[in-house]
Amino acid sequence: MLSEVQKSSFVDKGYCTVQIDLDAKWTNWAIDLTWSQIDSHFDRDDPKTWVGEIEDDCRSATLAKRRGRLKFKDNVFRHPELIRMMYGNGPVMSAVRSVIGERCVGRHATRGLYPIFPTPQSSDTIKGGMDAHPFQVNAVLYLDDVAEDGGAFSVWEGSHYIMAKAFAGRASYKLLDNVEALRLEAEARCRHVMLPGPRGTLVLWHHRLLHTPTTNRTDKIRYALLADYYRDDWLDQVDEPHTDNFWEGWPLSATPSSGHAYEPEAPGLTASPAKRTRRNKELEQASVSI
C-alpha cells in the first residue's frame, strides 16, 4: 500500500518509488537467471571480457553500440518465479493496486530481465522514449544496488501530461506523428531526474511518462526486472478518446501541484545535474532546433 505522499508523487510527477524487502537469495537467483541468457564469451567474473558483439532478444550488436543495454524476454518472461514476484499477492502488487485499483489483475508474463553493462565511454546525450504497447503502469525492480551513475532508470517529471497528446486516447498505444515535437517540449519544460536506489527499489511510472535508462559508468552491472500492469477492462478502452479528467478510471483524484524544477538549456540534450560539466561541453558542439 502506498502512502499519500507516494500517490501524490505519481499524480504530479508521473512516478513514485517504493522499497520492497527482497530476500538476497531470491535476487541472487534472478541475477543468475540473467547470466544464463548472456553470451558465453562474456565471463561473469572478468569485466575485461565484457566487450564486443552480444545478442539479446532484440538484436545482435556491440555492447558499445547498444550503450550496455540488454533485454532478455523470450526465455524468462514467463518464468513462474518472476511472475510470482511481480504479480503474486505480495508488496509489489499491493503498491501497484494503490494507483490502478483493485481491478488490476495479475498477468501471465513479465517484460523480462534488463541488465545494463558498464559503458563509461558512451555519450552523455540522453533522449527520452515512449512505449507503444498497452499498459497503464510499469514497474522497474532493482535486483541489486543501483548508483545514480550506474544505469539508473530516469524520467522527465510531469511529462505524462504532455506526452498523453502523442496518443489518440487514454488507452491508445499507437504513437501519433506529433510524438517528436512533444518529446522536445517535454524535455524542455520538465525536470529530468535519475532514480538510483538500493536492492529492492521499485519504480512505478505512468504509461505516458517520458523515460529512459541511463548510461552505466560504474564497474558494476545494473540488474532489473520489469513488468507491466493494467486494470481488467483497460484493453476495452483502446478506442476511447481523451476526456477532461486525466485520471478518469484511476483511484487517484489529486491535481498537479508542483511546478517544473528547471528549464534545460537545450531540449533533447538533458542529463543528470551531476553531469552538467560533461553536458555543457557537449552542448557547445551541439545544434538543436525545435
In whole angstroms, what is the distance from residue 9 CA to residue 153 CA?
Answer: 16
pLDDT class for 255, splitting at 50, 70, 90? low
So what's the pLDDT on residue 105?
85
Pairing of strands 153-156, 112-113: unpaired
pLDDT, tens digit, 9 for 90 and up, residues 88-114: 979 999 999 999 999 998 889 999 999
281 contact partners, CB below 8 Å, separation of at least 6: none
Cell matching residue 108: 501471465
Residue with cell 478510471: 249
Judged against a pLDDT cut of 70, whether residue 245 lies above it is answered with: yes
| Residue 153, pLDDT above cutoff 90 | yes
N-term to C-term CA, the chain: 41
The predicted structure's pLDDT at residue 193:
97
- What is d(CA 132, CA 99) in angstroms, rounded to the nearest whole number? 21
Cβ–Cβ under 8 Å, residues 280 and 272: no
Q: Which pLDDT score, from 0 to 100, does residue 150 have?
A: 97
As given in the structure block, the three cell numbers for residue 141 are: 525492480
Cα separations in angstroms, 284 against 50, 158, 208, 287, 288: 32, 28, 31, 8, 11
pLDDT score at 253: 67
pLDDT: is 216 or 261 the higher one?
A: 216
d(CA 289, CA 93): 42
- Residue 254: the pLDDT is 52
CATH number attached to the domain at 4-285:
2.60.120.620
pLDDT of residue 283: 36
| Confidence at 289, pLDDT banded by 50, 70, 90 | very low
* Residue-wise pLDDT tens digits, 27-36: 999 999 999 9
84: enclosing H helix or E strand: helix 80-87
